[in-house]
A and B are shown apart, each in its own frame.
Chain A
Amino acid sequence: MKVDLFVTCLCDLFYPDVGEAVVRVLRRLGCRVGFPPDQTCCGQPAFNSGFTEQARAVARRLIEAFSAGEEEGTPIVAPSGSCAAMVRQHFPRLFAGDPRWEERALRFAGRVTELSEFIVGRLGVDDLGGRFGAGLEAVAAYHRSCHMSRGLGVVEEPLRLLRSIRGLEVVDLPDAEDCCGFGGTFAVKMPAISTAMADRKLDAVAASGAALLVGSDLGCLMHLGGRLRRLGRPVQVMHTAQVFDRALGGGG
């Protein structure tokens, strides 16, 4: 299957290793991966901050960047529940009533999927365990990010894939549905509250006994990982793509 990668700006700029892991995982699962080079951001930082016009401009740019696959409806895979939710939930609203863009925005939204959602839902794969026999020895807790779980409704897919990995013990995270406090610009507008929320989440991680924290959104992981590092707690942080990559015998 041909897919286009929407790597997302956070991944591109701060976590290129995660992007590489995504590419390896998709290839292992039989996909041909394209990377439309003109992509930048989905516009979410501006949208969530109330800068709607700026968000619209950036959103238009993203839709155009992926226009080559528009005819065939090439699936677009993003290693982020939040960015996928931005496109699927808010692009149609951003362009509602716009004769030039509404239709395109809807079509674009129809193409975008989050990585684990794509693997389970579109590729029909829900077991990564035995494929290449790599496995990963760790006790992991999974952070279900809010936009992914509430916005996209994707909760079970990443868990199913993680649980299929040999050697990886996925423990329940207490109060798993609670926000970690990232919230995009919230993290810098309300840093004290944001950090307090991170601490509550990290206390839950500690209570779960996990030595590895896995998530599907780099925003949350940047925030939690940054707090962990500041606190000097020895919990390792990985994106789901990196864990999948390890399970499939990838380079990470």
Chain B
Amino acid sequence: MGRRPPAEPFHARVERSLRDTFLRVAVPAATRRFHLTRRHALAELGEPLRWRQLARAIRAHTIANLDRYLAQAADAVEARGGRVHWALDAAAAVEAVLSIARAAGVRRVVKSKSMVTEELELNRWLEAEGIEVVETDLGEYIIQLDGDSPSHIIAPAVHKTREQVRQLFSRLAGQELPDDAQALTDFARRRLREKFLSADMGISGANFVVAETGHVVLVTNEGNGRMVTSLPRVHVAVMGMERVVPTWEDLAVLLEVLPRSATGQKLSVYTSITGGGPAPAGEGDGPQEFHLVIVDNGRSRLLGTRYQEGLHCIRCGACLNACPVYREIGGHAYGGVYSGPIGAVITPLLEGFDGWEELPHASSLCGACHEACPVLIPLHDLLVDLRSDEADQERAGRWEVLAFRAYRWLCERPWAYRWAARAAAALQRPLEEAGWLRGGPGPLKAWTEGRDFPAVAARTFRDRWRDLAAGEGDGQ
């Protein structure tokens, strides 16, 4: 079990995204807006860097003591009458949820947005048991109806047009709905309200789990997270094991940076601090059963390595919004559950390099991701480290290995470097046109697909230096 890389190769996915004219407008518009509001919202705090340093310190401390805080959270949940399920991998996590559903006789599940359940492909497994699963975040609902997958951590349906949504909803309604976001949203509200009120089980993710009390913290804007955790008789929260936060004081800091970094809000509309245990009898609503599923699924492979900081991520999406590569290709081209810079880092780490070799290279290393990250993960440095791991594992292409061997040899020998420059200047002559090349072999071909390339100078700078030095008499 576990997800496989898409069958379609990376470059084909990229080409498809680049041809998607809606995507090329919608994604930059949305990410630009998130990016600017994020910056504004953090600036309002006064000293954004200090807040980010503090948030990072909290995450670093938590992950460095993860075993302790997970044990504390689990103890708290059990003391409050909740149940904890430990899942080393996706199969164990799915089995835990399925057995809870079987025991409770669940027929219908409502879900709020959860990236970790995407990792588990939980919906597929629940449906195979004959259980109806309904995604209730508006974006996720749209995605689910279309058999699609989310393309952004916080704006899952950013790649869908209103017309696509209108058609999907009209099919469901059995009548043509108007081309109006308000009317379409109202339709989803009515439709999903019935589902909330009749579901047996709610499944949520967890933005944080407070170790002190076992409370699950969910940050949402629509209110579906509240519905899912308040109305059905069973609440199952599925958490990636890194989502724990030691104390309320730590939570207070992380909640100042998460919504600001995600959507530019001071706080999201709903911050639910819920569960940990079942609702006490006599409250009239709230779940009668609470389960916490703690998922490793490859995460422990990052612990103790230089990639440990990858687990500091609080899933705000700021790196996606800042990334100029994401802006061009959107989330689907990355092919995994997590896209953008954080996806390029953690996907190969969680899943292994096979089928994901290109991801660490899908970055110009511009550093915008690190600049945006609320917990200061050095994403661009980690991408270089991953490239280094790939080279060490002999995953680089043959021409590249040879090229860098030659590069080293030449750069270590200035006489050879000089000779090679002259040779290149001579060899390029048939291709040259007024100082530029418009084609060529190997990497030059890739470059000149869309750009002209400057010819190597007939006289390099080092060849000119003697004259320059003589001119002023101050050379070496």
Q: Indicate if A16 sits at the interface (CB-CB under 8 A).
A: yes
Q: Indicate if A208 sits at the interface (CB-CB under 8 A).
A: no
CB distance A38 to B18 under 8 Å?
A: no
For window 438-472 of B, CB contacts with A under 8 Å fall at 438, 443, 446-447, 449-457, 459-465, 468-469, 472
Q: Which residues of B contact A230 (CB under 8 A)?
A: 438, 450-452
CB distance B461 to A12 under 8 Å?
A: yes
CB distance B364 to A179 under 8 Å?
A: yes
CB distance A193 to B329 under 8 Å?
A: yes
Q: Indicate if A136 sits at the interface (CB-CB under 8 A).
A: no
Q: Which residue of A lies closest to B417 (CB)?
A: A40
10 sampled A-B residue pairs with Cβ under 8 A: A49-B404, A50-B396, A58-B408, A178-B324, A178-B368, A182-B364, A192-B449, A198-B450, A222-B453, A226-B436
CB distance A196 to B328 under 8 Å?
A: yes
CB distance A179 to B14 under 8 Å?
A: no
**Least distance between A34 CB and chain B CB atoms (Å):** 5
Q: Which residue of B lies closest to A36 (CB)?
A: B476
In the complex, A175→B417 CA distance in Å? 38
CB-CB under 8 A for A226 and B454, given A12-B462, A34-B474: yes
CB distance A186 to B18 under 8 Å?
A: no
CB distance A14 to B329 under 8 Å?
A: no
Other-chain contact of B461, A7, A47, A50, A193 (Cβ < 8 Å): A7
Q: Indicate if B389 sits at the interface (CB-CB under 8 A).
A: yes
CB distance A146 to B368 under 8 Å?
A: yes
Other-chain contact of B476, A12, A27, A34, A179 (Cβ < 8 Å): A34
Other-chain contact of A37, B365, B414, B443 (Cβ < 8 Å): B414
Q: Which residues of A contact B363 (CB under 8 A)?
A: 183, 186
Q: Which residues of B contact A45 (CB under 8 A)?
A: 404, 407
Other-chain contact of A54, B32, B328, B408, B475 (Cβ < 8 Å): B408
In the complex, A185→B465 CA distance in Å? 29
In the complex, A222→B455 CA distance in Å? 11
In the complex, A89→B28 CA distance in Å? 30
Q: Which residues of A contact B15 (CB under 8 A)?
A: 192
One of B68-76, B152-160, B206-214, B380-388 contacting the partner? B380-388
Q: Which residues of B contact A181 (CB under 8 A)?
A: 324, 364
CB distance B457 to A20 under 8 Å?
A: no
**Least distance between A140 CB and chain B CB atoms (Å):** 21
**Least distance between B227 CB and chain A CB atoms (Å):** 39
Q: Indicate if A197 sits at the interface (CB-CB under 8 A).
A: yes
Q: Indicate if B5 sits at the interface (CB-CB under 8 A).
A: no
For window 391-436 of B, CB contacts with A under 8 Å fall at 391-392, 396, 400, 404-405, 407-408, 410-412, 414, 417, 421, 424, 436
CB distance A188 to B461 under 8 Å?
A: no
